[in-house]
């Protein structure tokens, strides 16, 4: 073969090889952006839950680290319940946005769980997001039946958005193990109730989930982010951070000024987050019409005006309601 033809052939086959390699690369899953490091928990980690007497042998400390990072992105405690399912008992994001789970402060939550035991009768059914339901079951022994094999509502940081599908699959494998499909169907009905635009419809859906037993509803402000992640067609939610730790009045004024400047039409809520304040605001009017938005402290909500939900306790970003449900026989 002449040198010119040989050189052309080599270039052709090199090009084919490069195209093939690129094709194989697109077929490989994106590398997971984090590792989860688990270790036995220390006794001091359980002090906030002392009133509930958890077993140290069931607790593990965890650190969420970026695949190539040295410092943790988040850290916390997890435990395996009597049903064999893992539950997060503490979680703290150490970056500027929530990483996979909303922050869980054990001191705050222990106060809420004690209030729940005080206000809810023994026969009551407590409806809450799947991970909060697991903590209620484990620490209070209360009937909090909701669970989800999909582990819905993973909060994926923007920096990891390219690997969202892989991250959500990994979350399902970790938290969803052992949860029946039928439980997931019931949890989806719970989300349906939360995103209902009619209070009466949402109340009846929740009562139906509980089999028309007495119902208490345990919510956190973070539930609205997770509902938005699970049902983006029903809730379009954005957020923005403002400096001003310790100065809620000044932060609130800055938020109002920014809302007016940007001509944001949807309702908003202000939440302390680390050394700043984060606002969560609806991109349109549709989100603020949902029952969830009316149950949580958004600028357009008025929980006292609700007819089917009676506020029984509020602490920080936790809101506990008693459902004043219609009877099963009523139209």
Tell me the domain boundaries of the chain. Answer: 105-236+284-323
Q: Which residues touch 165 (CB under 8 Å, ≥6 apart)?
A: none
More confident residue, 225 or 128: 128
User: Do 214 and 126 meet the contact criterion of CB atoms below 8 Å apart?
Assistant: no
**pLDDT in the model for residue 133:** 96
- The mean-pLDDT minimum among 159-163, 242-246, 283-287 falls in 242-246
Rounded (5°) CA angle 182-184-185 = 65
**pLDDT in the model for residue 296:** 96
**pLDDT in the model for residue 7:** 41
Give the residue among 37, 40, 127 at the shortest CA–CA distance from 80. 40
User: Do 291 and 197 meet the contact criterion of CB atoms below 8 Å apart?
Assistant: yes
DSSP letter assigned to residue 148: -
DSSP, collapsed to helix, strand or coil, labels residue 192 as helix
**pLDDT in the model for residue 112:** 94
**Residue 118 tokens, joined:** 């005080």
Pairing of strands 276-282, 268-273: antiparallel
- The mean-pLDDT minimum among 48-57, 127-136, 231-240 falls in 48-57
**Of all residues in the chain, what percent carry a pLDDT higher than 70?**
84
Rounded (5°) CA angle 250-255-257 = 95
In the CATH hierarchy, which fold is given to the domain comprising 105-236+284-323? Rossmann fold (3.40.50)
Q: pTM here?
A: 0.85
Segment 2-20 mean pLDDT: 41
**pLDDT in the model for residue 32:** 67
Q: Which residues touch 255 (CB under 8 Å, ≥6 apart)?
A: 242, 268, 270, 277, 279
Give the residue among 76, 124, 126 at the shortest CA–CA distance from 319. 126
Angle between helices 130-140 and 106-119 (to 10 degrees): 70
Q: Chain centroid to CA 231: how far?
A: 12
Q: 């923005």: which residue's tokens?
A: 240
Cross-strand partners of 276: 243, 273
């Amino acid at each position: 073969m002449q040198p010119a033809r040989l050189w052309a052939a080599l270039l052709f086959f090199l090009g084919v090889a490069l195209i093939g390699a690129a094709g194989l690369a697109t077929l490989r899953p994106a590398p997971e952006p984090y590792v989860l490091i688990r270790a036995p928990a220390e006794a001091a980690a359980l002090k906030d839950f002392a009133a509930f007497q958890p077993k140290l042998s069931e607790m593990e400390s965890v650190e969420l680290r970026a695949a190539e990072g040295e410092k943790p992105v988040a850290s916390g405690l997890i435990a395996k319940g009597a049903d064999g399912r893992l539950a997060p008992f503490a979680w703290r994001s150490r970056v500027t946005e929530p990483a996979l789970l909303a922050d869980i402060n054990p001191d705050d939550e222990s106060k809420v769980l004690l209030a729940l035991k005080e206000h809810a009768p023994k026969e009551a059914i407590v409806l809450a997001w799947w991970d909060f339901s697991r903590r209620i079951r484990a620490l209070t022994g209360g009937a909090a039946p909701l669970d989800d094999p999909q582990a819905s509502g993973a909060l994926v940081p923007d920096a990891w958005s390219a690997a969202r599908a892989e991250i959500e699959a990994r979350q399902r494998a970790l938290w969803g193990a052992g949860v029946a499909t039928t439980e997931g169907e019931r949890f989806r009905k719970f989300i349906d109730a939360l995103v209902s635009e009619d209070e009466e419809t949402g109340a009846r859906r929740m009562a139906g989930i509980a089999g028309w037993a007495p119902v208490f509803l345990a919510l956190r402000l973070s539930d609205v982010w997770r509902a938005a992640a699970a049902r983006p067609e029903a809730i379009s939610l954005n957020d923005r951070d403002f400096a001003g730790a310790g100065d809620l009045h000044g932060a609130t004024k800055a938020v109002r000024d920014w809302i007016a400047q940007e001509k944001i039409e949807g309702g908003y809520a202000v939440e302390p987050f680390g050394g700043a304040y984060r606002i969560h605001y609806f991109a349109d009017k549709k989100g603020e019409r949902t029952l969830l938005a009316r149950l949580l402290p958004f600028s357009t909500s008025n929980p006292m005006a609700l007819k089917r939900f009676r506020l029984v306790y509020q602490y920080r970003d936790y809101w506990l309601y008693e459902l004043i449900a219609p009877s099963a026989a009523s139209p």
